[in-house]
């Protein structure tokens, strides 16, 4: 748990509005939800071929299907890799 400067529990919405959103604007990034960082993490790890169980554990999910079904997204590069793998198998 994170505390405010007064020692009280940090209000998540306040932290997002006062810190996260201004950081996005300052960096010239799109306005995303804080939770979208989980999706990005899972997708980047999948793109780097990190073991799926490691990704599951990193995100704290009880099942692999949750991790794969909700938090990982297919990228064009992943499709290209799959096509290249198929091609090398049958060439």
Given a contact cutoff of 8 angstroms between Cβ atoms, the answer to whether 32 and 47 are in contact is no
> Which of 11-15, 52-56, 70-74 has the highest mean predicted lDDT (pLDDT)?
52-56
Residue 49 shares a structural domain with residue 79: yes
- 4 or 58, higher pLDDT: 58
Given a contact cutoff of 8 angstroms between Cβ atoms, the answer to whether 15 and 33 are in contact is no
Residue 59 shares a structural domain with residue 89: yes
Q: Say what the pLDDT of residue 72 is.
A: 62
Residue 61 shares a structural domain with residue 27: no
Q: How many domains does the chain have?
A: 2
Residue 72 shares a structural domain with residue 46: yes
Distance separating alpha carbons of residues 39 and 72, to the nearest angstrom: 6
**pLDDT-based confidence at 30, cuts 50/70/90?**
very high
**pLDDT-based confidence at 16, cuts 50/70/90?**
very high
| Cα dihedral sign, 77-83-89-91 | negative
Residue 58 shares a structural domain with residue 80: yes
> Domain limits at 24?
1-34
Residue 44 shares a structural domain with residue 56: yes
Q: What is the DSSP string of 1-22?
A: --B-TTSSBPPHHHHIIIIIHH
Residue 42 shares a structural domain with residue 74: yes
0.95 cut: is pTM over it? no
Residue 40 shares a structural domain with residue 82: yes
Residue 25 shares a structural domain with residue 56: no
Q: Say what the pLDDT of residue 49 is.
A: 82
| Cα dihedral sign, 26-29-30-36 | negative
């Amino acid at each position: 748990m994170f505390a405010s400067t007064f020692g009280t529990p940090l209000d998540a919405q306040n932290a997002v509005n006062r810190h996260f959103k201004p950081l996005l604007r300052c960096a010239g990034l799109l306005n995303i939800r804080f939770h979208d960082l989980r999706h990005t993490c899972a997708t980047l790890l999948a793109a780097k071929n990190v073991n799926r169980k490691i990704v599951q554990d990193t995100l704290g999910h009880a099942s692999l299907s949750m991790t794969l079904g909700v938090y990982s997204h297919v990228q064009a590069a992943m499709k290209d890799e799959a096509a290249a793998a198929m091609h090398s198998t049958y060439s």
